């Protein structure tokens, strides 16, 4: 075998990208046969780092969509007994949220070179959340036909079941006729499991097949004598027309769309789906890349033939490219394209949060998605453990088949069936906490259209 600098660099990158070692060093030596000077011995020196991580934390997010005060507790191992196998257990509990999950990964199945091309991962989870939404008096146009989705009366008497929808129509769309002292409670819950089988086709390409089975339900609760008129999903905020396109902000509203399955009736639904994926990863460093490509193409399919109450497809292309610039800096570009067919449950909508659109505190949803990001990462230390980042984000979402949102006069406020655009620019810092095995902790300060926001995360934005 001919040893080249390119092959040695790739071997180093593969060892470093495992995330198992604190130090990876190569010491080439001549030999072993002095009569054959063209031979060389490659002496790799590695130092294993701590593979177990325990985390405890607390957070707060206010507003009706926020989770209130929450606490998290988790423990993970990413190299159990030196096998590369990993496991994690995580709990989150708060005033409005209660989540738990346990997951495991086996990156190399079997003992033969062929079987070790396969990997396996699985997760069992439960998720529960409760949000509160301000309500508003419905317009005449909205109140023509009551929407019979309310299945649970509030304590002390409420708008009864499907045959008793109340007498006063309300909407979640913000308008001038806010009803003080009245809120809608929106409950979501999901329990299930998922598994993924992967196969490495080469050093750069991997194909995967995943299966998901879960039970999900949502429910809306209103006090008597109100009923929810003409709305089935609680998703986005009000929209303003600007020179840069239509911008959303603020409170949540309800949306009726043929592309969103109505689950807000208190009943539980089965969701069964398969996902086929193809990925390409040529990054030199998965934690802080300077060059290479990271791309994933996936297709999720759900249907009644699988025992699912929902029939849909979700197609996603996620592509990132990195270039070395300015001696030690990195210029990265990221694009996500997403599309759906059929009617997807609200939990399967595309989501743009402050982790993607860093200049906005609210969350945006859609059945079709475009996300474009660029970022210049400038290291302030020689080991690149502390960096500045200059970035820009641009996202656009559309809810296919959405009915227009009307104000109290029956006029159209916004049509989510059209593409809605959001953009921001900002500055961030990135740093590693090697003692706790944390890579690339992010703190980003961004300015969107008419708003500023600070976001926090662990790991690079893309």
Domain ranges of the chain: 1-49, 108-458
Q: Are 430 and 461 in contact (CB under 8 A)?
A: no
Check whether the bond before 383 is cis (ω within 30° of 0): no
Q: Are 442 and 428 in contact (CB under 8 A)?
A: yes
Which of helix, strand or coil describes residue 435? helix
Residue 439: predicted pLDDT: 75
Residue 112's alpha-carbon distances to 118, 256, 263, 305, in angstroms, are: 11, 53, 47, 36
Q: Are 331 and 320 in contact (CB under 8 A)?
A: no
Q: 323-335: per-residue pLDDT in tens? A: 999 889 999 999 9
Q: Are 207 and 277 in contact (CB under 8 A)?
A: yes
Q: What is the pTM of this model?
A: 0.80
Name the pairing type of β-strands 97-106 and 86-94: antiparallel
CATH number of this structure's domain 1-49: 3.10.20.310
Cross-strand pairs, 174:
none
Choose the most confident range, by mean pLDDT, from 106-110, 173-177, 183-187, 328-332. Answer: 328-332
- In this prediction, what percent of the chain has a pLDDT beyond 70? 83
Asked if the model's pLDDT at residue 129 lies above 80, the reply is yes
Q: What is the 3-state secondary structure (H, E, C) of 117-175?
A: HEEEEEEEEEEEEEEEEEEEECCCCCCCCCCCCCCEECCCCECCCCCCCCCEEEECCCC
Residue 145: predicted pLDDT: 47
Residue 158: predicted pLDDT: 38
- Mean of the pLDDT values across residues 368-382? 96
Q: How confident is the model at residue 307 (pLDDT cuts 50, 70, 90)?
A: very high
Q: How confident is the model at residue 17 (pLDDT cuts 50, 70, 90)?
A: confident
User: Does domain 108-458 bear CATH number 2.40.160.50?
Assistant: yes
Give every CB contact of residue 254 below 8 A, 6+ residues apart in sequence: 171, 172, 173, 228, 230, 231, 232, 233, 234, 235
Q: Whole-angstrom Cα distance, residue 124 to residue 194?
A: 7
Angle among Cα 84, 89, 91 to the nearest 5 degrees reads: 155
Residue 166: predicted pLDDT: 67
Residue 183: predicted pLDDT: 84
Q: What is the 3-state secondary structure (H, E, C) of 18-31?
A: CCCEEEEEEEEEEC
Choose the most confident range, by mean pLDDT, from 67-81, 177-191, 195-209. Answer: 195-209
Q: Whole-angstrom Cα distance, residue 458 to residue 15?
A: 22
- Mean of the pLDDT values across residues 359-383? 92
Residue 95's alpha-carbon distances to 24, 68, 132, in angstroms, are: 45, 6, 12
Pick the more confident residue, 229 or 130. 130
Mean pLDDT for the chain? Answer: 83
Q: Lowest mean pLDDT: which of 236-245, 247-256, 257-266, 314-323? A: 236-245
Residue 246: predicted pLDDT: 41
- In this prediction, what percent of the chain has a pLDDT beyond 90? 44
- Mean of the pLDDT values across residues 281-298? 93
Q: Are 405 and 412 in contact (CB under 8 A)?
A: yes
């Amino acid at each position: 075998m001919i040893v080249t600098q390119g092959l040695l660099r790739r071997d180093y990158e593969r060892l470093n990208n495992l995330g198992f070692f604190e130090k990876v060093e190569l010491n080439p030596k001549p030999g072993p046969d002095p009569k054959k000077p063209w031979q060389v011995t490659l002496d790799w020196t590695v130092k294993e780092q701590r593979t177990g991580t325990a985390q405890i934390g607390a957070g707060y997010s206010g507003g009706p969509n926020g989770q209130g005060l929450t606490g998290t507790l988790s423990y993970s191992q990413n190299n159990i007994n030196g096998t590369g196998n990993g496991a994690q257990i995580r709990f989150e509990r708060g005033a409005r949220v209660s989540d738990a999950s346990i997951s495991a990964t086996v990156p190399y199945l079997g003992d033969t070179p062929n079987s070790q091309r396969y990997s396996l991962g699985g997760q069992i989870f439960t998720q529960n959340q409760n949000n509160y939404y301000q309500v508003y008096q419905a317009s005449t146009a909205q109140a023509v036909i009551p929407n019979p989705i309310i299945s649970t009366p509030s304590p002390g008497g409420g708008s009864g079941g499907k045959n008793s929808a109340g007498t006063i129509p309300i909407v979640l769309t913000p308008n001038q006729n806010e009803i003080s002292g009245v809120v809608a409670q929106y409950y979501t819950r999901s329990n299930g499991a998922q598994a993924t089988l992967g196969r490495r086709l080469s050093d750069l390409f991997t194909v995967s097949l995943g299966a998901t089975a879960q039970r999900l339900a949502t429910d809306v609760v209103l006090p008597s004598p109100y009923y929810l008129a003409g709305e089935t999903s609680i998703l986005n905020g009000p929209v303003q027309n600007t020179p840069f396109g239509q911008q959303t902000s603020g409170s949540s509203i309800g949306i009726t769309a043929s592309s969103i399955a109505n689950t807000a009736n208190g009943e539980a639904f089965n969701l069964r789906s398969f996902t086929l994926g193809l990925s390409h990863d040529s990054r030199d460093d998965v934690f802080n890349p300077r060059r290479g490509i990271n791309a994933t193409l996936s297709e999720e399919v759900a249907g009644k033939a699988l025992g699912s109450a929902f029939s849909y497809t979700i197609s996603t292309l996620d592509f990132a490219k990195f270039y070395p610039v300015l001696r030690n800096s990195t210029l990265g570009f990221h694009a996500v394209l997403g599309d759906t067919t059929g009617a997807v449950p609200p939990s399967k909508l595309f989501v743009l949060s402050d982790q993607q659109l860093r200049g906005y505190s609210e969350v945006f949803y859609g059945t079709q998605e475009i996300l474009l990001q660029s970022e210049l990462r400038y290291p302030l230390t020689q080991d690149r453990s502390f960096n500045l980042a200059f970035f820009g984000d641009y996202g656009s979402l559309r809810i296919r088949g959405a009915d227009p949102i009307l104000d109290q006069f029956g006029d159209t406020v916004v049509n989510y069936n059209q593409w809605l655009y959001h953009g921001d620019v900002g500055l961030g810092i990135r740093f590693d906490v090697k003692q706790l095995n944390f890579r690339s902790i992010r703190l980003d300060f961004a300015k969107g259209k008419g708003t500023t926001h600070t976001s926090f995360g662990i790991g690079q934005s893309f």
